[in-house]
Amino acid sequence: MNIELVPLQVRGDERGGLIALEEEKNLPFKIRRVYYLIDTKPGVKRGFHAHKELRQLAVAVRGECTFLLDDGSCRREIKLHDPAQGLLLTGLVWREMFDFSEDCVLMVLADQLYDEADYIRNYDEFINIVNLQKEQK
C-alpha cells in the first residue's frame, strides 16, 4: 500500500514547538493546495473516495481522527493524533475518515488544485480501476 507515516521534526525552543513543512524537503512534492477539516460532527464519517493522481500529506494538527485505507487488496486503519506525524497518501487508495475528536483539525497538503474529476467516489469503480492497473503491469 502506498502509505507512509512520516515523522516531522519538531523545532522550537523553550517558548514552544514549531513544525515546518517544506516542499521537496520533508514533503516529496510541490504544494499547490492546503485545506483543513474542522468541526467534524460526532459520529460522522468522511472521505469514501480515492484519487486518481493526487498526492497528499495529512496531519492532525490538533485532536485526532482515524483513517481507513484500502488499496483493493488490503485494508489498514491508522489513527492520527500527533502533529509531528504526517500521513502520506499517494497512489490509488480508498479512504474513509472517522472517530474525529471534537477539537480535531486535520490539515492536508496537496500537490494539485481541487479537481472533482480526480475523485473516484464509487467503490466498485475504484476496484475496477485497481484491477485494470494490475492487468497493465
Question: Residue 35 or residue 131: which is nearer to ligand T46 going by CB?
Answer: 35
Could you tell me if 69 and 1 are in contact, meaning their C-beta atoms sit under 8 angstroms apart? yes
Nearest approach, Cβ of 58 to ligand T46 (angstroms)?
6
Site for ligand T46 in 58-97 (CB under 6 A): 58, 95
Q: Which of 50, 115, 60 is nearest to 89 (CA)?
A: 50
Which of these ranges, 17-25, 30-38, 73-81, 125-133, lies near ligand T46 under the rule CB under 6 A?
30-38
Is 32 a binding residue for ligand T46 by CB under 6 A? The answer is no
Contact 28, 56 (CB under 8 A): no
Q: Which ranges constitute the DSSP H helices of the chain?
A: 123-136
Q: Which of 61, 68, 108, 127 binds ligand T46 (CB under 6 A)?
A: 108
- Interaction of residue 35 with ligand T46, rule CB under 6 A: yes
Q: Which residues pair with 44 in a beta bridge?
A: none
Active site residues per annotation: 49
Task: Give the one residue of 18, 52, 84, 114 binding ligand T46; rule: CB under 6 A.
Answer: 114
Question: Total residues at the site for ligand T46 (CB under 6 A)?
Answer: 10
CA trace torsion 56, 61, 62, 68 (10° rounding): 30
Q: Does 47 bind ligand T46 (CB under 6 A)?
A: yes
**Per residue in 94-123, is it b (16+ CB within 10 Å) or e — as a string?**
bbbbebbeeebbbbbbbbeeeeeeeebeee
Contacting residues toward ligand T46, per CB under 6 A: 33, 35, 37, 46-47, 56, 58, 95, 108, 114
